[in-house]
Structure 1
Amino acid sequence: MTRARELNENENETDVLVIGGGTGGYSTALRAASLGLKVVLAERDKVGGTCLHRGCIPSKAMLHAAELVDGIAEARERWGVRAAVESVDWPALAATRDDIVARNHRGVAGHLAHASVEVAYGSAELIGPRSARINGYGEVAARRGIVLATGSRPRMLPGLTADGRRVVTSDDALFAPGLPRSVLVLGGGAIGVEYASFHRSMGADVTLVEAADRLVPLEDVDVSRHLTRGLKRRGIDVLAEARLLDAAVGDDEVVATVRTSRGETRTVRAERLLVAVGRAPVTDGLGLAAAGLTVDDRGHVAPTDWSRLETSVPGLHVVGDLLPPPSPGLAHASFAEGLLAAETLAGLRSPAVDYAAVPRVTYSSPQTAAVGLTEAQARDAGHDVAVNTMPLTAVAKGMVHGQGGMVKVVAERGGRVLGVHLVGPHVSEMIAESQLIVGWDAEPADVALHIHAHPTLSEAVGEAFLTLAGRGLHQQP
């Protein structure tokens, strides 16, 4: 494995010290180094962080495998292709996943080495506003400042303990032994929905429990409705507005007691209980008090100046999962935050992160993708809104895929687009266009001028904007 050169004990002063080598941390380090700054990156595990080693990359690799399994079922059931999945070779599947992770890891380490970023492999503790002690390397002083990028860990419900076998968190779910025949997933946010979708594709009986009144409760209500319909159609038992009352963990199964939305008590038996109820910032052992910092009631470190991501202590900046909302705690947002923090420390005047234009994606089947305001958020903010919803099956390519879904556009009446919301196959790849539409304050008429290829799924996006612009073709206003 290519590694960045380790910190020499005599080189105890740097321009920028980054604590945490996940997406926010290593993007900060790479950008600062490209601007000519001397950078030390402290990482106590592996560069790449949760996203690369336990989250985004391995989970999406596995979801791709699930998509292949689903495709075989579709080929047989819809298209007359006499094919079947004989079995899933879990070790082979896991080996491919691990190879993808390893190659990405080598790539990140290689980028850091090429940029001459000094990587100190050890835990770091702040001992002042511009200095830290790194385990095994001594003290490091930062002339320009320090960037905190220590990430997050899964939250666990009281009374439950993850054992990596019967009770697992989102961090270790894909690394648990084998494929279970039944799974109870606690948490109907993006992570919980993705894991429910994966296990269902792999043949498991899946029960998905969400305490809120709908799945992905931060998304538009129509996104939740279409997603829930799609998951139920696949055979997933969705229990919204439900709560876990108790769980008995045995050698062979977990027996859980769940209160449903109707107040009824229900017993759910599953080989595995997967807890995906959110993530908590990692600040233990970081020495925040020594630098003059505190955390909020959710454990986040809030910046005083969001345009610089700088805390109340000058020179101390925060990126990634340590940040409270409006930062969404997404890897691609932390890339942008890392760039901003690095450029600020280099003395550049950079634009603040536009969190309203950060796309949000759930990689389940069906997928969801959104950017900007939901219809409810737009109305609550006082906008006079114009809304158009178009089924994906209203265009030919949507009929070909046969999975349902929709495009929903929320705009100011006579003005700019405020939000775009998608549900259906491949919408994670379709959201980029809408990100630009929202980020550049485009109006429906602006989008309607541009021709979308026919037949494609993205054609439904173009058609939705045509209708809002008063030029409806296949969809009438």
Structure 2
Amino acid sequence: MAEAATAHEFDILILGGGSGGYAAALRASELGFSVGLVEKGKLGGTCLHNGCIPTKALLHSAEIADHARDAGKYGVNVTLDSIDMNAVNAYKGGIIAGKFKGLTGLIKSKGITVIEGEGRLTAPNTVTVGGTDYTGKNIILATGSYSRSLPGLEIGGRVITSDQALELDYVPNSVIVLGGGVIGVEFASVWKSFGVDVTIVEGLPSLVPNEDAAIVKQLERAFKKRGIKFSTGTFFQGVEQNENGVKVTLVDGKTFEADLLLVAVGRGPSTANLGFEEQGVTIDRGFVITNERLHTGVGNIYAVGDIVPGVQLAHRGFQQGIFVAEEIAGLNPVVVEDVNIPKVTYCDPEIATVGYTEKAAKEKFGDDQVQTQEYNLAGNGKSSILGTSGLIKVVRQKEGPVVGVHMIGARMGEQIGEAQLIVNWEAYPEDVAQFIHAHPTQNEALGEAHLALAGKPLHG
């Protein structure tokens, strides 16, 4: 491993220790570079402390609550007395603490220098932290994102973001969720499992509007069945709050009242007041503009993760961090398009997708050049055992490769690995039809969908 020329000079200096930043640091260290990693908070960033890990811990607690509530259907007699949020938070906190300890130990073991404090880019090769300058032959910007709000909508009191929602020490009676995207439907799912009266408000015509139409239809049907209410197609106008709750008004005059309003309108890039523009880095609506190889066009400055336009996913940050470290090393890594990065929304039912939706595929290849196949999970034995419903939809080019896989149902996120390989390796349904999928598994359903699209359905 290379050593820094001085304590303040590095081959690679990274601003931000979240998913993209620490992945870049670890890979760069493996490649023999001296690495400095600047972080103002805790290593692991949003994903570990305020995002992926804590929300999925809550979702697992919610799943356990649902299992207890429904246990009688499976011949197990138990009762669900209450949700102990102190215990839930202790469980969640234990997971975070364990992962944080492991990450900090790994970073230390790789000889990576962690620089604590808020950094600012003060030259094309310099980051200043607390009045001290640190230089890097290469700079990687990885400053992450924050919970956005809407213009004029102030966070405070009974108006909260996911950051505050993760720290609630009680179960509210009712919640309005502003935003029907990934964050909104995940929290709505958790709270409904905890016994909360939930209403989602989404200005666009549907929940999870970026998903394939078949997935949207299934999710909305499932949410209605679960008793999760939602209003779509009308935008938020304002909110009033008092000591008892909130009253939300939409532009069409509809009103909703609840204990809390969760603002879940997405995440914004954390790039303000960090010196990027002063050093010539192009910023557009807060995002750092790069070429396809994540170079900013200024010196040896690169950017990764949520500050780069595109899908905001921790594993995209991991991939981009590794990519840039290898790019600096001259390894010429392969560019992965955002559309081919797998996405999972961990609500109940779970959504897992990769590649083009049917609509996007038709826009790219032409209406008559796209074929689709849907496989209903009602025909899958393991899904029946689990008591889940949903479907798997495969999108292919006509007489060509699979370009999209879209799934909804319990534990569908666990199927996305094979789906990603199918799409990224441009496999044909006829190729996948030859694979053997173990029985009984939900994974069989993915195989069945491809069998059907290859013209030889087994159970369809």
TM-score (norm 2): 0.96
Instruction: Render the CA deviation track for 1:51-103: whole Å, top value 9, x for unaligned.
Output: 10000000000100000011112212x23433221011111110010010011
Mean Cα deviation higher: 122-131 or 394-403: 394-403
In the alignment, does 2:159 pair up with 1:172? no
Query: 1:159 corresponds to which residue?
Result: 152
Q: Unpaired segments of 5 or more residues in structure 1? A: 1-6
The residue that corresponds to 1:131 in the other structure is: 126
Q: Which among 180, 185, 192 is matched to residue 188 of structure 1? A: 180
1:382 shift after superposition: 2.1
Alignment of 1:73-472 (within 5 A): 73-76=69-72, 78-135=73-130, 138-143=132-137, 145-163=138-156, 165-259=157-251, 263=252, 265-296=253-284, 298-303=285-290, 305-306=291-292, 308-325=293-310, 328-383=311-366, 384-472=369-457
SS, match of residue 293 in structure 1: coil
1:376-419, Cα deviation, whole Å (9 max, x unpaired): 00000124011111110112222222331000000112110010
* SS class of match (2:281): coil
* Between 354-363 and 460-469, the greater mean CA deviation after superposition: 354-363
Counterpart CA distance in 2 for 1:235 and 1:394 is 25
Deviates further, 438-447 or 168-177: 168-177
Cα drift, residue 453 of structure 1: 1.3
Deviates more, 1:225-234 or 1:283-292: 283-292
Q: Deviations over 1:413-439 (max 9, x none)?
A: 211001000000000111111000001
Q: Secondary structure of 1:242's match?
A: coil
| Structure 2: runs of 5+ lacking an equivalent | none
Structure 1 runs (4+) deviating above 6 angstroms are none
1:393–1:402 CA contact under 8 A, matched in 2:
no
* Alignment of 1:25 onto 2:21: yes
Check the 8 A contact 1:147/1:316 in 2, yes or no: yes
Give the CA deviation at 1:10. 5.8
Q: In structure 1, what residue type is equivalent to 2:16? A: G
Q: Separation in 2 of the partners of 1:58 and 1:124?
A: 26
Q: Spell out, residue by residue over 1:135-182, the C-alpha distance to the aligned partner (whole angstroms, 9 max, x if none).
A: 25x101112x1000000101112232222x511112221112311110
1:341-381 CA deviation, whole Å, 9 max, x = no partner? 11112222211123232111100000000000000000001
Q: How many residues align?
A: 456
- For 2:378 and 2:340, the matched residues in 1 are separated by 27
Deviations 1:217-239 (A, max 9, x none): 11101111101111111000011
Determine the C-alpha separation between the residues in 2 that align with 1:66 and 1:413: 42
Structure 1 residues 254 and 8, CA gap change in structure 2 (3 angstroms)? farther
Between the aligned residues of both structures, percent identity stands at 43
Q: Which residue of 1 is the match for residue 61 of structure 2?
A: 65
**CA displacement 1:95-125 (0-9 Å, x = unmatched):** 0100100111111111110110000001111
